[in-house]
Amino acid sequence: MEEKKPFQIGDIVMANRVVLAPMAGVSNVAFRLTVKEFGAGLVYAEMISDKGLILRNKKTLDMLYIDEREKPIALQIFGGEKETLVEAAKFVDQHTNADIIDINMGCPVNKIIKCEAGAKWLLNPDKVYEMVAAVVDAVEKPVTVKMRIGWDDEHIFAVENAQAIERAGGSAVAVHGRTRVQMYEGKANWEIIRQVKENVNIPVIGNGDVETPQDAKRMLDETGVDAVMIGRAALGNPWMIYQTVQYLETGELKPEPSVQEKIDVCLLHFDRLIKLKGEFVAVREMRKHAAWYLKGIRGNGIIRNAINQVETAEELRAILNNVVEQSREQQEREMHVV
């Protein structure tokens, strides 16, 4: 296989080039650890508000929790002003065992943009430089940035912004190949990601529309990036991470999981979520995850409806266990027919 230098950010050397994306409302420790066990080389936590950290908001502080088994990990912060961003970064630097501090410069959501955070900075490489330099100066841990390629089609400063990040002392940049205006529409532009890689010396992580292990290989080959970041394809599907790691290492495509395997991992994820957030919140958050895990399973529409009504962990577990039972019976029936 290819002889390329290992994927490294600062002093941290990753075991492979497959990275779990930060996803708000998803990438908490319960999900990250589950994905990590499927071999992710690096995991990103969901974005954390600088103001929440500074105000010592309990929910925000809880988001800093890291399990040793999921390392290496990047904690991502967002904010609109230099002072608060720096203060939040210092807090993460001194009070967490995160390996990397990541700054969010890609979030397209209006709530975030209104406070000048997220993708808004992408219009101004000088601002990008100023923010990153201030954070880098204030902390010991490596600082990275996750950004979109630009604001809209007329304002794509991906290369300039990545160069600003590099000059400011940033240790890596992750690039989602869409503009802010695109939100999640259209296709991710990998050509711009390639241009970024060509024009900086820090590691570049490519992101956007990696849906299969083959996509991951194609992104690495076509853009030359140091690693691929996977978001939506890993929802309810940590096997995607395992299959990608395996495919990149051996060229072999591992089979899809059985229904039993899917439900077992879903239940493990659920137990972790209960430990993290308590039963009430976990049951409600798990509804969307369960729907993702059930994707592709026969009759999943009816099961999803039932899941959306559950109130207790016991009810949810019973439905999920029943899915395995039904699929087993279905298989037996099919064997008889044959």
Ligand X SMILES: Cc1cc2nc3c(=O)[nH]c(=O)nc-3n(C[C@H](O)[C@H](O)[C@H](O)COP(=O)(O)O)c2cc1C
Catalytic residue IDs: 107
As measured in angstroms, the least distance from the Cβ of 333 to ligand X is 37
**Which C-beta is closer to ligand X: that of 222 or that of 311?**
222
Measured distance CA(150)–CA(123) in Å, rounded = 7
As measured in angstroms, the least distance from the Cβ of 231 to ligand X is 3
- Strand 204-207 to strand 12-13: parallel, antiparallel, or no bridges (unpaired)? unpaired
The label of the residue with tokens 């503009």 reads 179
User: Which amino acid appears at position 195 of this protein?
Assistant: Q
The label of the residue with tokens 């940590």 reads 238
Q: Which residue is nearest to ligand X (CB)?
A: 231
As measured in angstroms, the least distance from the Cβ of 335 to ligand X is 38
**Which C-beta is closer to ligand X: that of 25 or that of 299?**
25
As measured in angstroms, the least distance from the Cβ of 37 to ligand X is 20
Please report the sign of the dihedral spanned by the C-alpha atoms of residue 60, residue 64, residue 67, residue 69. positive
Contact 127, 153 (CB under 8 A): no
Residues in touch with ligand X (CB under 6 A): 21-26, 46-47, 76, 104, 106-107, 146, 176, 207-210, 230-233
**Which C-beta is closer to ligand X: that of 76 or that of 244?**
76
Which residues sit in the known binding site for FMN?
A: 22-24, 76, 146, 176, 231-232
Task: HSE, CB side, 13 Å, CA atoms: give it for residue 127.
Answer: 14
**Which C-beta is closer to ligand X: that of 125 or that of 208?**
208
User: Which amino acid appears at position 7 of this protein?
Assistant: F
DSSP 257: P
What tokens were used for 14? Answer: 């990753």
